[in-house]
Amino acid sequence: MSTSAQSVLNDFRAFLKKIKAYEEAIGLMYWDLRTGAPKKSVEGRSETIGELSGEMFRMSVSERMGEYLNTLGEPETFAGLSEVDRKIVQVSRKEYDRSVKIPPEMYQAYVVLTSKAESVWEEAKHASDFPMFRPYLEQIVKTNLEFIDLWGYEGEKYNTLLDMYEPEMTVDALDRLFGRLRERLVPLVEAISETAQPDITFLDQTFAKEKQQSFGLFILEQMGFDFAAGRLDETVHPFATGLNLGDVRITTRYLERDVVSALFGIIHEGGHALYEQNISPDLAGTPLCTGTSMGIHESQSRFWENVIGRSRPFWSRYFVDLQRTFPGQFNGVAPENFYRAINRVEPSLIRIEADELTYNLHIMIRYELEKALFNGSLQVADLPAAWNEKYNEYLGVRPEQDSVGVLQDVHWSGGSFGYFPSYSLGNMYAAQFTHTMRRELPEMEADVAAGRLLPIKQWLCDKIYRYGKLRDPGELVREITGESLNPDYLVDYLEVKYKNIYRLS
């Protein structure tokens, strides 16, 4: 590489690092807003987040950024870049080409809107008052439609939103994947509904929040979470945020009448955190220092939560620790009974508390509602009724209030449309990765039963985490498993697990 090209590359890297510094500051303020900032701070904090986000956005679409990308994208110069720098240029170019079409003042106003909307959503959820939240959601949907028109789209408008979270994913592809899931999952759910349910009466107790937190921290430590580079806090809706490689924060929600809700929330967000904490330091300060897609990211949270955390070997090892944490509350309960209880299949209203089998139906409901919002066949005002009908159709349950219906998830208040399918895609990726992992780590179940979780974490570090965004999701899946995304692995895994639990032939 010529001296002049190297100089441009160095300046480009420094410019990206400055943008990441803004991103970290914004992320920290967002975390504070969601974890206990005074209520009266929302207005001012939202404006501050908007100002900084606007400045970061202006940098990302500036002439200076365009010049860097043009120079480094010239064939001869690009060919001389390292693998990491070529990927940085490609990722930055894609983001630049999309973002440059959005007026900076429009973007800044949108950030302020969503920052305020998330706090309004929290209040509306608590009051079960959709009309309070409706005007914010209407403006968020309207702005996203305006963004899509500026970005451009192929086929359905919703494709553009899907691509932001799962590159190259389309409605057609997702419809096929979900169709294959429904075809095999619905008969399994129906068969289970006709069998005797596991006993869960021993879960109907009060469990002190402080003890739940203590046990959750213990499990995080067992997973390999680095407490010198992260922390656990409480919030209304669990989330994880990676500020930098040395500061990855997760949150959960504690329910005194539900000992497993917070625990699995912690394990789920802990899976996200392990990904963020173990990206190669070589990628720090670059656009590659994050997960390659939300589907792959969710594969890690869903893997740790379900494949590991809801497994029989896990509780054969850790149930004794749970008993020790809550003295006397699980007397006479065998690990097997606890395992069957936490895997009970029962249609429910709340996605984050849904069993592993019916969970994907929750995602399909949101996916179909989002598609309808963006193809114009559904209006925001009609969402509560449409939501309730979908839940009745897919799960046979109907919300009696919006707090456990259309207001239950935080994502729409932040403008995260196209995000929900990532959860089901994550389940598919996780099952496919697990199939390969079991072959390459033949002692995997014995390790879990012995409390040796670190070999599993190391396998994931080697195969997934360290690469950050260096590998595209499709490329990563093919490298690890030898084939493209295949939903059959998920259904095979679920059939084996739940036929065993419910003793189906």
Position 4 scores a pLDDT of 86
Domain boundaries, the chain: 3-149, 171-501
Q: Give the 3-state secondary structure of residue 405.
A: coil
Q: Name the 3-class secondary structure at 464.
A: coil
- The domain 171-501 having CATH identifier 2.40.160.20: the answer here is no
pLDDT at residue 245, rounded to an integer:
96
Q: Is the pTM of this model over 0.75?
A: yes
The conformation of residue 307, written as its DSSP 8-state character, comes to: I
Rounded Cα distance, 351 and 349, in Å:
7
Amino acid at 426: G
What is the structure's pLDDT at 252? Answer: 96
Q: Residue 470: its pLDDT value, please?
A: 97
Beta strands at 247-252 and 240-244: parallel, antiparallel or unpaired: antiparallel
- Long-range (24+ apart) CB contacts under 8 A made by 119-123 are 119/33, 119/39, 119/42, 119/46, 120/413, 121/407, 121/410, 121/412, 121/413, 122/236, 122/410
Burial of 268 (0-12, 13-18, 19+ CB in 10 A): buried
- Give pLDDT, residue 353: 86
**Rounded distance between C-alpha atoms, residue 459 and residue 449, angstroms:** 17
Per-residue pLDDT of the chain (505 residues; tens, 9 = 90+): 688 889 999 999 999 999 999 999 999 999 999 898 998 998 999 999 999 999 999 999 999 999 999 999 999 999 999 999 999 999 999 999 999 999 999 999 999 999 999 999 999 999 999 999 999 999 999 999 999 999 999 999 999 999 999 998 999 999 999 999 999 998 999 999 999 999 999 999 999 999 999 999 999 999 999 999 999 999 988 999 999 999 999 999 999 999 999 999 999 999 999 999 999 999 999 999 999 999 999 999 999 999 999 999 999 999 999 999 999 999 999 999 999 999 999 999 999 889 999 999 999 999 999 999 999 999 999 999 999 999 999 999 999 999 999 999 999 999 999 999 999 999 999 999 999 999 999 999 999 999 999 999 999 999 999 999 999 999 999 999 999 999 999 999 999 999 999 999 7
Active site residues: 269
Pick the closest to residue 365 from 430, 409, 303, 310 (CA basis): 409
Relative orientation angle of helices 171-193 and 421-440, to the nearest 10 degrees: 70
pLDDT at position 36:
87
Sign, Cα dihedral of 433, 87, 17, 26: negative
Instruction: Considering only CA atoms, give the Rg of the chain.
Output: 23
Distances (CA, A) of 223 to 309, 312, 315, 356: 10, 16, 14, 20
